């Protein structure tokens, strides 16, 4: 990380001259210039003061975020099937289990079902794209048809089934990831 360049960029974003930044931090213009040209390094206390004037802090300043991927193509997706339970999962976002939410497409054949899950923290949301499904929560059962959605906190044992005669498809999002 080029600390001097990053400080220069933040200063310019705030529309401050070196002299204005120096005055606000009670430093000399020459010292700010030396920092920006990597000729000297500020103490931690001085860096904290400079960053405060520039509207940031140490954590944000040193956070090296990489370009976040925004879009995904069909070839990025991953599928798995369970012939015994008659379902297919399509992970829509690669490595989504590392994120806070995990979107998938669940395809259930007629009489298919997804595996039973134990209660866990988080939330689950789904939108039925085709057919209809049943949400089984403990001893309760809820029908959800094409064009309808579901949302629940998984505090009980739960699973989804397709009791219809046609294939059912559900866009399903879990947070935190559980698939």
Q: Per-residue confidence at 141, pLDDT binned at 50, 70, 90?
A: very high
Do 74-175 and 3-62 fall under one CATH topology? Answer: no
pLDDT score for 99: 80
Q: Which CATH superfamily is domain 74-175 in?
A: Jelly Rolls (2.60.120.10)
Closest CA to 137 of 113, 122, 121, 118: 118
Euclidean distance between CA atoms 157 and 167, whole angstroms: 24
Q: Which residues pair with 148 in a beta bridge?
A: none
Q: Give the per-residue pLDDT at 32.
A: 96
Which segments of the chain are extended strands (E)?
78-82, 87-91, 102-108, 123-130, 132-137, 140-145, 149-152, 158-161, 168-175
71-102 pLDDT, tens digit per residue, is 999 999 999 999 999 999 999 998 877 788 99
- Given a cut of 60, whether residue 66 has pLDDT beyond it is no
Q: CATH homologous superfamily for 3-62?
A: lambda repressor-like DNA-binding domains (1.10.260.40)
Q: What residue segments make up the domains of the chain, in order of their start?
A: 3-62, 74-175
The three-state secondary structure class of 139 is coil
**φ/ψ bin of 131: left (φ > 0), alpha (ψ from -120 to 50), beta (otherwise):** left
Residues 103, 92 contacting (CB under 8 angstroms): yes
What pLDDT score does 157 carry?
96
State yes or no: pLDDT of 109 exceeds 80. yes
Q: Quick: pLDDT tens for 154-168.
A: 999 999 999 999 999
The average pLDDT across 66-74 equals 81
Share of the chain above pLDDT 70, in %: 98
Looking at residue 95, what is its pLDDT? 80
Of 171, 11, 168, which Cα lies nearest the Cα of 102? 171
């Amino acid at each position: 990380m080029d600390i001097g360049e990053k400080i220069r960029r933040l200063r310019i974003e705030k529309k401050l001259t070196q002299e204005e930044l120096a005055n606000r931090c009670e430093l000399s213009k020459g010292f700010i210039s030396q920092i920006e040209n990597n000729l000297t390094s500020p103490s931690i206390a001085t860096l904290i003061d400079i960053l405060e004037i520039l509207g940031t802090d140490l954590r944000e300043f040193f956070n090296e975020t990489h370009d976040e991927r925004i879009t995904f193509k069909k070839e990025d997706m991953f599928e798995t099937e369970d012939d015994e339970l008659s379902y297919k999962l399509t992970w829509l976002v690669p490595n989504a289990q590392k994120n806070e939410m995990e979107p998938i497409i669940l395809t259930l054949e007629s009489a298919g079902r997804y595996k039973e899950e134990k209660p866990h923290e988080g939330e689950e949301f789904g939108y039925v794209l085709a057919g209809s499904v049943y949400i089984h929560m403990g001893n309760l059962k809820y029908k959800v048809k094409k064009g309808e959605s579901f949302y629940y906190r998984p505090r009980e044992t739960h699973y989804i089934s397709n009791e219809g005669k046609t294939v059912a498809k559900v866009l399903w999002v879990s947070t935190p990831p559980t698939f």
